[in-house]
């Protein structure tokens, strides 16, 4: 499972980079873990971007989870 990680005070610029990396992945439809364990806060636009990303993947029937890399699935 591919891991997308955001940390600290999560900004729009940080989320833009994570989403660009996700789109550039050789298998963008593969399973994704959105790791928020190190995030301390979100700006409003960054949070909206992450929620939209999750909703779009859910609507497409793609496996996307929120958690930590240490979680056992």
The pTM of this model reads 0.78
Burial of 35 (0-12, 13-18, 19+ CB in 10 A): buried
Give the separation between CA 58 and CA 56, rounded to whole angstroms: 5
Identify the DSSP state of 21.
H
Of residues 15 and 23, more confidence is placed in: 15
In this prediction, residues 26-36 reach a mean pLDDT of 81
In this prediction, residues 51-71 reach a mean pLDDT of 84
4 within 8 A of 21, measured Cβ to Cβ:
yes
pLDDT band at 47 (very low <50, low <70, confident <90, very high): very high
């Amino acid at each position: 499972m591919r891991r997308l990680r955001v940390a600290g005070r999560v900004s729009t610029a940080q989320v833009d980079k994570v989403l660009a990396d996700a789109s550039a992945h050789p298998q963008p439809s593969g399973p994704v873990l959105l790791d928020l364990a190190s995030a301390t806060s979100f700006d409003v636009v960054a949070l909206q971007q992450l929620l939209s990303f999750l909703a779009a993947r859910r609507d497409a029937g793609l496996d996307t989870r929120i958690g930590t890399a240490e979680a056992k699935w």
